Amino acid sequence: MFYLRLREEEVTPKASETTLKGRNLLSHVLRTRYGIEDDPLEIKTHERGKPYLPKHPEIEYNISHSGRYIVLAVASVPVGIDVQEIRITSIDKLGRHVFSDSEYRDFLMSEDRQEAFFRMWVRKEAYIKWTGDGLYRELRELPLDGWFQYITIDRGYYCAIHAGIPLSVEVEEVTLP
């Protein structure tokens, strides 16, 4: 997993800027790790929006961003990743809409509801990005099968990666020119 930490003045970039920075991060990793020099990098999307590289079907990837971070997972199998800045929100109400009944009970019983909420949120988001279902599936009803791992990148963020098989996760901060 690779991540790009945005400078303080870029913490709330426009969506188009974040997309460009994510694409630059992907291009950088493909060039430095895989020797792929495609310029421009061709990216297409499956019918439900999951991006892929048509010239390099052996490489799967997924990008997420929140606050100061853009994260990228690259693998040889389908993968999903999500990062979320911890923000104060009405998590009790939102949890009722996105958690299954048993997940909601666990959430209500947890010592730190904010932590419980964001950990489950990033796991569910990484799951739907892995499967390519996007928001076509009801979050409350996700089976959450497969493999996942939480990743620590910063104290104010939660991050999770999901795949069909266990992956060896290496975390690397990337600095782009």
The SS3 assignment for 142 reads coil
Tens of pLDDT, residue by residue over 92-141, are 888 888 899 999 999 999 999 999 999 999 999 999 999 988 667 778 88
Q: Where does the pLDDT of residue 163 fall: very low under 50, low under 70, confident under 90, or very high at 90 and above?
A: very high
CB 86 within 8 A of CB 114: yes
Which of 40, 19, 5, 38 is closest to 176 using CA atoms?
Answer: 5
Which of 173, 83, 20, 159 is closest to 10 using CA atoms?
Answer: 20
Query: How far is residue 117's CA from residue 5's CA, in Å, rounded to a whole number?
Result: 24
Q: Where does the pLDDT of residue 7 fall: very low under 50, low under 70, confident under 90, or very high at 90 and above?
A: confident
* CATH at residue 11: 3.90.470.20
pTM for this prediction: 0.91
Domain total in the chain: 1
Please, what sign has the CA dihedral across residues 99, 114, 78, 13? positive
Check residue 49 and report its DSSP letter: S
Query: Which residues constitute the domain of residue 144?
Result: 2-173
Strand partners for 60: 75
Tens of pLDDT, residue by residue over 23-76, are 999 999 999 999 999 888 999 998 888 999 999 999 999 999 998 899 999 999
Cis geometry, peptide bond prior to residue 51 (ω within 30 degrees of 0):
no
pLDDT of residue 177: 73
Query: How far is residue 176's CA from residue 147's CA, in Å, rounded to a whole number?
Result: 30
Task: Look at the chain and count its residues.
Answer: 177
Beta-strand runs (E) in the chain? 2-5, 44-45, 51-52, 60-66, 69-75, 79-85, 147-151, 157-163, 172-173
Check residue 141 and report its DSSP letter: G
